[in-house]
């Protein structure tokens, strides 16, 4: 990955909340008042970017921002207010199944007339749409599995052992060249995208930020460990069929071998992971802490809820012939344009 060790640059503000957080990180202004957070759109660009900035301090940080900001008490209070606003909205707006079995059961059923993003890209997606999709997803995939690792110290027994086994695969099984974040960077290279960590933060929409923020929120709090496990189950159960369609989309568009390989890898790996997560991670957690069943169901359903919002954003834009990004991508240079073999 190019610039793998460099800290990303701070993005541009998207409103008063994110502007105030950026000013605080630079040491040039105060943080937003709690009443301003309480009145903000929980899914909007401004709150989502402000929350993303707070969380990113626990990952790579930002260039020019002191590492001490990670545990800045004032910033943590602001983060808590942002989290309350976001999580309260998610709990109010997400339709939740009555049981874990019902939530998992619905995930296992592939709709006959699928109309999601992977279906669109597989059947008629154009190369520019694949590039946009990768730019949005880079906010997570360039740190793939990192948000989920936060839950490991919060699990025990079967659930912990199984979760660690799946994470080991996500991190390449001990091989640096097989780390999934590395494989996604290779995919981006095939698509003529910049692999610099955080490069597309300014371009990514609020719906994409919300998904990554949800992962960090659930992973960083012990009280939401059940929801994080549910989220992880939703990802692993739905990944294999979706990845199969995306691999086909990459091949059909002539995106390059590394682009197709990233999703081919997930077709095989996540078919195995699905079984481990269902029977050992969820099963082990419920055996130890049965009272977490509603949280696991919430984690599954909130993932579907937020993914649905992103899908609506992408498909509405693409069907109108418009960019789904806040700022359209530059065209790849002649040496970066993928070739159909």
pLDDT per residue of the chain (341 residues) written in tens, 0 to 9: 544 568 999 999 999 999 999 999 999 999 999 999 999 999 999 999 999 999 999 999 999 999 999 999 999 999 999 999 999 999 999 999 999 999 999 998 877 677 899 999 999 999 999 999 999 999 999 999 999 999 999 999 999 999 999 999 999 999 999 999 999 999 999 999 999 999 999 999 999 999 999 999 999 999 999 999 999 999 999 988 999 999 999 999 999 999 999 999 888 777 788 899 999 999 999 999 999 999 999 999 999 999 999 999 999 999 999 999 999 998 775 445 554 43
Q: How many CA atoms lie within 13 A of 40 on its CB side?
A: 28
DSSP 230-275: HHHHHHHHHHHHHHHHHHHHHHHTT--HHHHHHHHHHHHHHHHHHH
Q: Quote the Cα angle for 318-320-322, to 5°.
A: 60
173 by Cβ neighbours in 10 Å (0-12 / 13-18 / 19+) ranks as exposed
Task: Find out whether 247 and 256 touch, Cβ atoms under 8 Å.
Answer: no
Task: Find out whether 47 and 19 touch, Cβ atoms under 8 Å.
Answer: no
Task: Find out whether 142 and 195 touch, Cβ atoms under 8 Å.
Answer: yes
Distance CA 30, CA 62 (A): 18
Neighbours of 122 (CB within 10 A): 20
Residue 294: what pLDDT? 98
Distance CA 65, CA 57 (A): 9
Residue 156: what pLDDT? 97
Distance CA 85, CA 82 (A): 5
Task: Find out whether 153 and 281 touch, Cβ atoms under 8 Å.
Answer: no
Distance CA 222, CA 153 (A): 9
Q: What is the pLDDT of residues 163-174, one digit of tens each?
A: 999 999 999 999
Residue 247: what pLDDT? 96
| Residue of 186, 185, 180, 197 whose CA lies nearest to 7 | 197
Stated as kind and residue range, the H or E segment containing 16 is: helix 16-26
Task: State the residue for tokens 């880079």.
Answer: 138
209 by Cβ neighbours in 10 Å (0-12 / 13-18 / 19+) ranks as buried
Distance of CA 29 to the CA centre of its chain: 30
Distance CA 142, CA 67 (A): 21
| Residue of 243, 211, 221, 235 whose CA lies nearest to 300 | 235
Q: What is the pLDDT of residues 180-200, one digit of tens each?
A: 999 999 999 999 999 999 999
Task: Find out whether 265 and 335 touch, Cβ atoms under 8 Å.
Answer: no
| Residue of 341, 311, 104 whose CA lies nearest to 207 | 311
């Amino acid at each position: 990955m190019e610039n793998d060790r460099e800290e990303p640059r701070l993005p541009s503000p998207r409103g008063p909340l994110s502007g105030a957080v950026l000013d605080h990180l630079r040491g040039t202004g105060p943080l937003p008042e709690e009443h301003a957070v309480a009145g903000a759109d929980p899914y909007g660009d401004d709150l989502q970017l402000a929350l993303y900035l707070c969380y990113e301090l626990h990952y790579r940080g930002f260039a020019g921002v002191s590492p001490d900001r990670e545990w800045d008490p004032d910033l943590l209070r602001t983060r808590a207010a942002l989290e309350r606003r976001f999580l309260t909205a998610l709990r109010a707006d997400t339709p939740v199944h009555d049981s874990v079995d019902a939530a998992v059961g619905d995930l296992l059923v592939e709709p006959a007339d699928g109309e999601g993003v992977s279906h669109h890209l597989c059947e008629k997606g154009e190369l520019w749409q694949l590039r946009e999709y990768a730019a949005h997803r880079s906010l997570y995939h360039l740190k793939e599995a990192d948000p989920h690792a936060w839950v490991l110290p919060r699990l025990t027994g079967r659930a912990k052992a199984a979760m660690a086994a799946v994470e080991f695969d996500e991190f390449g099984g001990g091989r640096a060249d097989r780390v999934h974040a590395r494989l996604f960077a290779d995919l981006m290279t095939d698509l003529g995208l910049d692999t610099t960590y955080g490069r597309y933060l300014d371009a990514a929409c609020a719906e994409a930020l919300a998904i990554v923020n949800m992962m960090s929120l659930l992973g960083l709090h012990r009280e939401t460990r059940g929801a994080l496990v549910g989220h992880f189950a939703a990802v692993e159960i739905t990944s294999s069929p979706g990845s199969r369609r995306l691999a086909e989309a990459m091949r059909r568009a002539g995106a390059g071998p590394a682009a197709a390989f990233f999703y081919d890898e997930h077709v095989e790996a996540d078919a195995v992971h699905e079984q481990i997560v269902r029977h050992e991670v969820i099963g082990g957690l419920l055996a130890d802490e049965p009272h977490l069943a509603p949280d696991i169901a919430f984690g599954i359903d909130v993932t579907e809820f937020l993914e649905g919002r992103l899908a609506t954003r992408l498909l509405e834009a693409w069907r109108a012939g418009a960019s789904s990004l806040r700022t359209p991508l530059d065209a790849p240079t002649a040496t970066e344009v993928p070739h159909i073999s």
